[in-house]
Structure 1
Amino acid sequence: MYEVRVETDFAAAHFLSHYHGKCERLHGHNYRVRLWARGSELDTGGMLIDFGVLKGLLREVCGRLDHQNLNEFSVFSGDPSAERIAKYIFDEMLTLLSHGGYNAKLLYAVDVYETPTNMARYVRD
């Protein structure tokens, strides 16, 4: 099995509506996002999928979130947790890969780091 990973980052603000503690107040993070693709077969060029394709699409998706208040995105239902952000990025990447003619089944996981030591992951089931 082959795995490849690309990463990018974005900065955004959020608060958690259903959390009681300091995260219920508006605050920001410099998010780090890692996207993983996995598969058992390489293309004729010896690659699972082009790093440039993955990174470009990931930057496009994360660019939509950059310097935004994530609570304004209805997809997060008022609680833009790292878990929900990871799922959103995963779903958006599936769509972009499919529409771009790439094998979306290669998309395996998205990691969203709120800090260097706190991360949530969404994995294809």
Structure 2
Amino acid sequence: MFEVRVTADFSAAHFLRDYNGKCENLHGHNYKVYAHVRGTELDRGGMLLDFTKLKKTLREVCGKIDHTNLNDIEFFEQNPSAERIAVYIYNHIIEGIPLLKKTDGKKAWLYAIDVFETETSRARYIAE
């Protein structure tokens, strides 16, 4: 099994409804995002996936939510948790690179998205 990972970041504000604590107030994070692709076979050039294509798509997705209030994005239903941000990014990468959607027999697929709110707090979405 092979795995490649690319990184991007963005800054955004959010607040969490239905949360009892300081995170229910508007605040911001400098998010770091990792996109992991796994696969079983390399192409003729010896690569699982061209880093450039994955980095470009991940950075485009992160660019769309950079310097926004995530609560304004309908997908999050007013609760833009790190877990929901990870799913959002996963879905948008798959839209940009449909070949990475996990299906049986795939040679390479988008395996996981990690979203770090801080260096010590991470949520991960894994494609099942």
One-letter amino acid matched to 1:114: E
**What is the CA distance between 1:104 and its match in structure 2?**
3.3
Equivalences for 1:85-100 in 2 at 5 Å? 85-98=85-98
How many residues align? The count is 122
Partner residue in 1 for 2:6? 6
Equivalences for 1:36-115 in 2 at 5 Å? 36-98=36-98, 102-105=99-102, 106-115=109-118
Give percent identity, aligned residues only: 57
Distance in 2 between residues matched to 1:118 and 1:104, nearest whole Å:
26
Distance in 2 between residues matched to 1:103 and 1:46, nearest whole Å:
18
Greater alpha carbon shift after TM alignment, 76-85 vs 103-112 = 103-112
**What is the CA distance between 1:95 and its match in structure 2?**
1.0
Is 1:122 the equivalent of 2:125?
yes
One-letter amino acid matched to 1:104: K
One-letter amino acid matched to 1:51: F
One-letter amino acid matched to 1:116: E
5+ residue gaps in structure 2?
103-108
One-letter amino acid matched to 2:73: F
The superposition leaves residues 23-78 of structure 1 with CA deviations (integer Å, 9 ceiling, x where unpaired) of: 00000000000000000001111100000110000000000110000000010000
Change (3 A) 1:82 1:55: same
Change (3 A) 1:7 1:79: same
Could you list the runs of 4 or more consecutive aligned residues of structure 1 that deviate by over 3 angstroms after TM superposition?
102-105
The root-mean-square deviation of aligned C-alpha atoms, in Å, is: 0.8
5+ residue gaps in structure 1?
none
| TM-score, normalised relative to structure 1 | 0.95
Distance in 1 between residues matched to 2:89 and 2:30, nearest whole Å:
16
